[in-house]
Structure 1
Amino acid sequence: MASNLLAESDNDSDVETSEDPDKQALDYVSRVLTTQTLKDRLHNLPLPLGSQDESHHRNLDLKKSPVAGDDDEDSSFLLLPLELILQILSHLDPRFILTVLPQVCRTLRYIVTEEVTWKIRVQKRVSANFPVVEQENFDWPAACIELEEQLSHWPDNGKKAEHFSLNDGHFASVDAVLLLEGGSLCVSGSRDRNVSLWDLRDLGKGQGKVNVKVLGTEKTGTHKGWAWSLASCGNLLASGSWDSTVKIWDMGAEGQQVGDIKGRAAILCLAFQPDILVAGSYDKRVSVYDPRAANPLIKTRKIHSSPVLCLVADDRHIVSGSEDRTLVVFDRRANAVLQRMPLDNYLFCMSYEAPQLWAGDNQGMIHVYGSHGGTFQSLRSFDVGHMSQVTGIWHSAGALYTTSTDKTMKVHIPTDPPRTLHTEPHSSVVNGVSVAGRTVAAASGAQTVEIWRFPE
């Protein structure tokens, strides 16, 4: 049935629109992005997750430490009850625990490598259900590191962060932002039609301004329409525009243009994988390209009935959200629509790392979906305090960032429910967020790129 549905919607005979892209973009913003007061919340949200299964404690007896080996027999520390050892370790930096303690002795190596050690530590830190999506092979040590760093970075209204407002690169609203190379570079797309490359390596050093370069050689701008979407893979960067083009840039060659893909309509969202580039467009289509090929278009499908606002992809799925209030899962291997999920509101942004998909909608709500057996299930919906559209979301194992047209960026711990650590007010709408290492970047409607950076 999915294949038939796909075939019916695969209409490649549509006449290409000749509407002025600037007028089309203004109409879109008026319809989709107009700031509005939040409607009444849904009263029947899914129930919170049950408490963690206590069976995972069976591997470690908290009343005594593991039996010490011959190389440990002189250590009185290891004769302490394991519960006390874990309490002592809780005061040490988790990176130190992971890198140094396993080299001390066999017993400490055993404690450090036990999953329950990190589960107990996380539970004491957050006192809430975590993670929201249960999954096999969850990296508890990495999640613990991220979570503890998040907790240490944002107390006291974020005073530990250095904040910079970059205002020399654009003369119109910034609608897309993306950090590259671990946060040393930043790329921004704006309604001034430019894609700007910022070198953040000398940010905060001396009184000199941050070096910024506009990508492309055309005097009229990087694109001929608003630069609206960004995505990267390896050294390659893709920028999508209301001029219906996707341009490819080689960041290893100082941002030299290496590709130019002509689409049928405005490019509203992008996802970049090692083998494909996926674009969602105003004409309701999801298109798949091979940017390395002379004829890059692989396939294009009209799988929505309204513009495609956000999408994500991996080696198995393409997941897209549209103004038609549906979430569609496309199976890359079967070349067919696998799932079509109706929604109460439309999704505006997504952050995905299997099996967790986090998304923000036009009513300020956050939704969590889990992929199991190839299909996605709606698991949780959260009100994190946004009063209008969630324009950007970035999720990792231990951190969650959201931006909104309510003129705020919010910082959370991704527990069930999320714990908000900090709300950063702004003078204008905040259109997107990107995080890499110790750097956070946000796109501002005030024609700036906002940067927060934490010391080593």
Structure 2
Amino acid sequence: MATARGADCENGTDGDISEDPERQALDYVSRVLGTLALPDKVQQLPHTLPVEAQGCIKHEGLKKSPVTGDHGETLSLLLLLPLELILHTLSYLDPRFILDVLPLVCRTLRDIVADEVTWRLRVQRRIGANFPVVEQEQFDWPAACIELEEQVSNWSDKGKKTEHFSLGEGHFAPVDAVLLLEKGSLCVSGSRDRNVILWDLKQLGKKQEKVKCTVLGAAKTGTHKGWAWSLAACDTCVCSGSWDSTMKIWDMAADGQQVGEIRGRAAILCLGYLPDILVAGSYDKRVTMYDPRASNPLIKSRRLHSRPVLSLVADDRHVVSSGEDRTLVVFDRRANAVSQTVQMDNYLFCMTYEAPQLWAGNNQGLIHVYGSHGGTFQHLRCFDVGHTSQITGICHSAGTLYSTSTDKTMKVHIPTDPPRTLHTLTHSHVVNGVSVAGDTVAAAGEQTVEIWRFPE
């Protein structure tokens, strides 16, 4: 088991690191996650390049069905109709059926299904709003269409189609981090009770079966010696970060056995886990990169902020971090240097990123959207989705959007411009984060992990 202490003198020594992590954590939560009423929100929309209205799709060339009349191909009456009528007929079919089955019927249907315009028109007719928010090349329109339609179906009628489970027999303090694994069959949660718990969701909902929960680690005092605050996963490994300044690595393929530990300089507030690096944002304003496979894991540590690092995301080119100092810093891994610093009016507490879209929630309950092009992140949109205080968690994919808040709600949206809220779930306490995988959604609650599962 590799153990290392992060020690990098590149930026000198910080003299403001508290010797009492418990007091430090309490002060941080009071300052950053306080639930005081917010003043009226002022949406300062950035000066940005306009996003084209994708709804204005031209219909030229769609007057006639593209029937080729190849020898040996039997043309049905359907295929003799104008293409507009064919697409209207297909709109009544399930998108997965269209994608998987119709291309096997004939060349004409295969060509229709393969045409991007088919799916753009279907999405536009379904939602009637600009989509996607960030334009990108090689956008997977069929996959996005499937996600959008399933999101709307799953949460229609106030989410009555979903199964809800509250897992309350593991933690005895607020849960601050939650992460779904293996398409939603496993869940990991971190809590202020200092424990990280592995939940086996495969038995969820079956009669006379309880969800098996396992506390990770062998220590009697808990998984960590401080609050378990952050989680990140790569392949079968999960890393947990704590206010005790440690990062512990657990192998899910080995029933959650500990396979590594790295000791940092300060409380670990956020993590990013990639095949080649583990990135940590800490209370001492630093973003630090490690190679957890090495006997001496430390790669580099930079003081990129003047206040604690609240959230970060990373890919093979960039590490993007947000701090309590109200800055967004883009670090270029290839150039080994900061490529961009954005000053904001408020701080971003949570982020989700899949190039070229970065979605983030701030302490005023607003959602910001950035687009990354040519190594630069451009602020494109600012949305008020109805939260009345700090956004604590955000999950975005091609066709789904979830947000949680200290206003005691989790909101379900579709990621259009502006987002359309499908359902708001109200809780008795603050909701500290959200994770989505497969047909499962998990949220971090007050001593509980809340699970929603969709019908297959």
Please confirm whether the aligned pair reaches a TM-score higher than 0.5, indicating the same fold.
yes
Aligned residue identity for 2:336:
N
Contact kept? 2:67, 2:108, Cα under 8 Å = yes
Post-superposition offset of 1:42: 2.0
The 2-side partners of 1:16 and 1:321 are apart by: 20
Secondary structure of 2:158's partner?
helix
Secondary structure of 1:431's partner?
coil
Specify the alignment match of 2:17 in structure 1.
Answer: 17
The 2-side partners of 1:66 and 1:428 are apart by: 59
Aligned residue identity for 2:325:
D
The answer to whether 1:451 aligns with 2:444 is no
Secondary structure of 1:150's partner?
helix
The answer to whether 1:37 aligns with 2:11 is no
Secondary structure of 2:433's partner?
strand
Aligned residue identity for 2:136:
Q
The 1-side partners of 2:392 and 2:142 are apart by: 30
Give the alignment of 1:102-117 within 5 angstroms: 102-117=103-118
Deviations 1:38-69 (A, max 9, x none): 222225425874422756655x5244344343
Give the alignment of 1:410-429 within 5 angstroms: 410-429=411-430
Aligned residue identity for 1:20:
D
Deviations 1:405-449 (A, max 9, x none): 0000000000000000000000100000000011000001x2000
Q: Using a 3 Å threshold, how does the CA distance of structure 1 residues 169 and 78 change in structure 2: closer, same or farther?
A: same
The 1-side partners of 2:313 and 2:43 are apart by: 29
Post-superposition offset of 1:37: 1.8
The 2-side partners of 1:156 and 1:411 are apart by: 13
Q: Using a 3 Å threshold, how does the CA distance of structure 1 residues 62 and 144 change in structure 2: closer, same or farther?
A: farther
Secondary structure of 2:131's partner?
coil
Contact kept? 2:55, 2:124, Cα under 8 Å = no
Secondary structure of 1:358's partner?
strand
Contact kept? 1:271, 1:312, Cα under 8 Å = yes
- For structure 1, which segment, 209-218 or 42-51, has the greater mean C-alpha deviation from structure 2 after superposition? 42-51
Q: Using a 3 Å threshold, how does the CA distance of structure 1 residues 69 and 407 change in structure 2: closer, same or farther?
A: same
Aligned residue identity for 1:270:
L
Give the alignment of 1:215-364 within 5 angstroms: 215-364=216-365
Aligned residue identity for 2:116:
E
Contact kept? 1:269, 1:280, Cα under 8 Å = yes
Aligned residue identity for 2:14:
D
Same amino acid, percent of matched pairs:
73
Deviations 1:133-173 (A, max 9, x none): 00001000000010000010001111100000000110000
Runs of 5+ consecutive residues of structure 2 not aligned to the other structure: 1-8
Specify the alignment match of 1:150 in structure 2.
Answer: 151
Contact kept? 1:98, 1:112, Cα under 8 Å = yes
The answer to whether 1:163 aligns with 2:164 is yes
Contact kept? 2:184, 2:438, Cα under 8 Å = yes
Secondary structure of 1:286's partner?
strand
Specify the alignment match of 1:51 in structure 2.
Answer: 53
The 2-side partners of 1:433 and 1:200 are apart by: 16
TM-score (norm 1): 0.95
The 1-side partners of 2:187 and 2:277 are apart by: 23
Specify the alignment match of 1:6 in structure 2.
Answer: none
Q: Using a 3 Å threshold, how does the CA distance of structure 1 residues 70 and 391 change in structure 2: closer, same or farther?
A: same
Specify the alignment match of 2:194 in structure 1.
Answer: 193
Q: Using a 3 Å threshold, how does the CA distance of structure 1 residues 357 and 43 change in structure 2: closer, same or farther?
A: closer
The 1-side partners of 2:298 and 2:250 are apart by: 18
Contact kept? 1:72, 1:107, Cα under 8 Å = no
Deviations 1:318-358 (A, max 9, x none): 00000000000000000000000000100000010000000
The 1-side partners of 2:258 and 2:12 are apart by: 29
Contact kept? 1:395, 1:401, Cα under 8 Å = yes
Runs of 5+ consecutive residues of structure 1 not aligned to the other structure: 1-8
The answer to whether 1:91 aligns with 2:92 is yes
Contact kept? 2:387, 2:405, Cα under 8 Å = yes
Contact kept? 1:331, 1:338, Cα under 8 Å = yes
Aligned residue identity for 1:367:
H
Secondary structure of 2:123's partner?
helix
Secondary structure of 2:299's partner?
strand
Contact kept? 1:69, 1:107, Cα under 8 Å = no
Secondary structure of 1:207's partner?
coil
The 2-side partners of 1:256 and 1:56 are apart by: 56
The 2-side partners of 1:71 and 1:261 are apart by: 66
Contact kept? 2:154, 2:161, Cα under 8 Å = yes
Aligned residue identity for 1:358:
W
The 1-side partners of 2:278 and 2:289 are apart by: 6
The 2-side partners of 1:16 and 1:291 are apart by: 27
Contact kept? 2:285, 2:307, Cα under 8 Å = yes
The 2-side partners of 1:364 and 1:53 are apart by: 28
Q: Using a 3 Å threshold, how does the CA distance of structure 1 residues 199 and 15 change in structure 2: closer, same or farther?
A: same
Post-superposition offset of 1:301: 0.2
Specify the alignment match of 1:5 in structure 2.
Answer: none
Deviations 1:98-142 (A, max 9, x none): 111111110000000000000000001110000000000100000
- For structure 1, which segment, 172-181 or 72-81, has the greater mean C-alpha deviation from structure 2 after superposition? 72-81
Contact kept? 1:66, 1:82, Cα under 8 Å = no
Post-superposition offset of 1:70: 2.7
Contact kept? 1:57, 1:116, Cα under 8 Å = no
Aligned residue identity for 2:83:
L
Secondary structure of 2:126's partner?
helix
Aligned residue identity for 2:205:
G
Contact kept? 2:194, 2:227, Cα under 8 Å = yes
The 2-side partners of 1:248 and 1:63 are apart by: 59
Aligned residue identity for 1:51:
A
The 2-side partners of 1:248 and 1:44 are apart by: 41
TM-score (norm 2): 0.95
Specify the alignment match of 1:133 in structure 2.
Answer: 134
